Amino acid sequence: MSVVIETPRSRKRPGFNLEKYGWMYMRLSGVLLVILIFGHLFANLMVGEGIHAINFAFVAGKWASPFWQVWDVTMLVLALIHGTNGMRTLVNDYAEVEWIRRTLVWLLWIVCATLIVIGILALTTFTPCGDASSISLLGKDGANVAALCPVK
Ligand code: HEM
């Protein structure tokens, strides 16, 4: 019995093709993530004292800069949508029961949206300046952080 293989690139349905744009998103975000992730690792682990410089004050200093806020928000949003869309592909491939597949895909996007909202809130509203008692919890970093904060 002969098998007819569908012509590659043939369109089954006219109109907006979500799978095509999802496929393109994975490639495009992959290229951007290489730059963002390796830039992030380079800045945190290789510049200056490298990994030894990482502490609360280091992160507070980075997040005081609009450049790193934009960098980190972009990395967060692109990576979460990339990872979620990749997991959606895996679920579509392996979940055999339709209601389980639909539930898992919904759960994936709900978790993704929640993490994006929490992450953006953390990145944009973060302040190292708590009250004196919370700054004292930072131990020796407390002095550096207190120096960044307005006098109360
Ligand atoms: C250097 C950064 C990255 C690059 C270049 C990259 C690239 C890619 C590409 C091209 C695909 C599509 C593969 C295919 O369709 O066969 C893919 C799939 C996927 N990516 Fe990434 N990715 C990166 C980072 C990440 C991160 C940070 C996550 C998690 C948050 C992630 C999770 C996934 C998942 C779950 C899939 C689906 C796997 C599959 O289809 O077998 N990736 N990635």
Average of per-residue pLDDT values in the chain: 87
30 CA from centroid of ligand 1 (Å): 7
Q: Are 40 and 75 in contact (CB under 8 A)?
A: yes
Q: What tens digit of pLDDT does each residue of 122-134 get?
A: 999 888 777 766 6
CB 85 within 8 A of CB 22: yes
> Tens of pLDDT along 19-31?
999 999 999 999 9
Q: Is 6 exposed, middle or buried (0-12, 13-18, 19+ CB in 10 A)?
A: exposed
Determine the atom of ligand 1 nearest the C-alpha atom of 93: 40
**Is residue 70 in a domain?**
yes
Residue 125, domain member (yes or no): yes
**pTM for this structure?**
0.83
Q: What pLDDT, on the 0 to 100 scale, is given for residue 101?
A: 97
Domain tally, the chain: 1
63: domain CATH number is 1.20.1300.10
Question: Binning pLDDT at 50, 70 and 90, where does residue 59 land?
Answer: confident
Determine, yes or no, domain membership for 52. yes
Residues with CB under 6 A from ligand 1: 26-27, 30, 33-34, 37, 79, 82-83, 86-87, 89-90
Count of Cβ atoms closer than 10 Å to residue 140 Cβ = 8
Which residues constitute the domain of residue 29? Answer: 18-148
Q: Is residue 79 part of a domain?
A: yes
pLDDT tens digits, 34-58: 999 999 999 999 888 888 888 888 8
